Amino acid sequence: MFALLLSLSLLVWLAVFIDASLGFKRLDRLEDSESISEGPRLSVIVAARNEEAQLEESLKSQLKQGYKNMEWILVNDRSTDNTGKTMDRIQESDPRIRTIHIKSLPDGWLGKNHALYKGYREASGELILFTDADVLFKKDAIGKAIYYFKEHGLDHLTAAPNLNGKSFWLKAFIAFFLFGFSYYKRPWLANNPHSKTGMGIGAFNLISKQAYEALGTHEVIKMRPDDDLMLGMKMKQIGFRQKIVTAMDLIEVEWYRSLKEAFKGLEKNTFAGLHYRISMVLFAIAGTFISQVLPFFTIFSPDKIISVLSLANVFLLAVVYTIITKRMSDFSPLLFLVFPLTALLFIYSIIRASILTLVRGGIVWRGTLYKLSELRRKH
């Protein structure tokens, strides 16, 4: 049985290795693009709920952009801290900024999706950038993005930022998450014009207003906790021109401040990513354990066939992990030394998020409980 499972796992990782090796060749670095300072009007929409700690630094980095034709729509989504006051204060210092304060959430909407939609309703730009309240931008980030957008005749551009973490185990977990995300979602397919697989990343979703309205705005994904990903996926499914790039040196996000926060943050979209199905949860747990934990134990088997198959699995895992880590982060590939432990942490996060969602009868996101029955119905 072990020999069969390890053989199947080996074939999977061989296929992933080939796919990733070819796929990453389709991903451009935004850093390599030229930059412009003048062009179509851009509306930057930032929705925030109780994010006063990160908001001001993020906005300061945005306001220093070399690209000139910009406006900012800041949306305070029912915050109970000083987020709204921070927005109002920064608005007073720069005429390009407008602030919207949302007091209540209408039925049938997730808070962030509703806030981004309300921001769009006030936007005057030909292009719209949806970004998060904790994203830091280098000075040429937006100028390079708009040049790339225009140069490739795009309707949608998303950029993978540099995700940073402070503690060792948080870094290891982020690296594993990027590894799993890359082989599961295959982001490079967004750059294949013949593929219907799309991609969207919350830190940077640049979209033409015309395409966004043709999509149906956030109204078509108003109950999706993975709104950023779904925005990109639906854009590509409809047939709009889309690309994903990496922007490790231009855009930065402190994904979470601790491993505990990462587990809490993943509560909202882990079960959603598995289509709210127990069968998918069990498949994800079993698949992760068999392909990414088991080989590290069976490598010590007295059965030479099992031991060799395990060693081959570990070797391919290390190669794929290194390829993805070097392309999608600035972390050291040496974090692979704790790979099986981070795989177990990831399994724990799946179990934890799924159980909490079922026990609560829904997901808690930004302080609001959204019922599982409604999430499933509008999935």
Residue linked to tokens 């796929």: 23
What is the Rg, in whole angstroms, of the alpha carbon atoms belonging to the chain? Answer: 21
Go through the domains of the chain in sequence order and give each one's CATH number.
1-23+261-373 (no CATH), 26-170+184-255 (3.90.550.10)
Nearest to 334 by CA among 162, 172, 177: 172
Residue 378 has a pLDDT of: 64
Cα-to-chain-centroid distance, residue 189: 15
Pairing mode, if any, of strands 70-77 and 28-29? unpaired
Q: pTM here?
A: 0.93
Nearest to 59 by CA among 42, 77, 71, 69: 71
CB atoms closer than 10 angstroms to residue 35 = 18
Residue 379 has a pLDDT of: 62
Distance (Å, whole) CA 197 – CA 143: 27
- What residues contact 343, with CB distance under 8 A and at least 6 apart? 176, 288, 289, 292, 293
pLDDT tens digits, one per residue of 16-45: 999 999 999 999 999 999 999 999 999 999
Nearest to 88 by CA among 76, 103, 79: 76
pLDDT tens digits, one per residue of 127-144: 999 999 999 999 999 999
Residue 265 has a pLDDT of: 87
Q: Kindly give the parts of the chain with pLDDT less than 50.
A: none
What secondary structure, in 3-state letters, does 178-246 show?
Answer: HHHHHHHHCHHHHHCCCCCCCCCCCCCEEEEHHHHHHHCHHHHHCCCCCHHHHHHHHHHHHCCCEEEEE
Is the distance from CB of 127 to CB of 121 less than 8 angstroms? no
- What residues contact 184, with CB distance under 8 A and at least 6 apart? none
Tokens, residue 27: 């991903």
Q: Give me the numbers of helices (H) and strands (E) for the chain, helices first please.
A: 15, 13
Is the distance from CB of 48 to CB of 55 less than 8 angstroms? yes
CA angle (337 as vertex; 332, 338 as ends), nearest 5: 105
Residue 366 has a pLDDT of: 75
CB atoms closer than 10 angstroms to residue 344 = 15
Is the distance from CB of 229 to CB of 196 less than 8 angstroms? no
- What residues contact 186, with CB distance under 8 A and at least 6 apart? 19, 23, 197
Helix, strand, coil % over all residues of the chain, rounded to 5: 55, 15, 30
Is the distance from CB of 322 to CB of 336 less than 8 angstroms? yes
Helix (H, G, I), strand (E, B) or coil at 240: coil
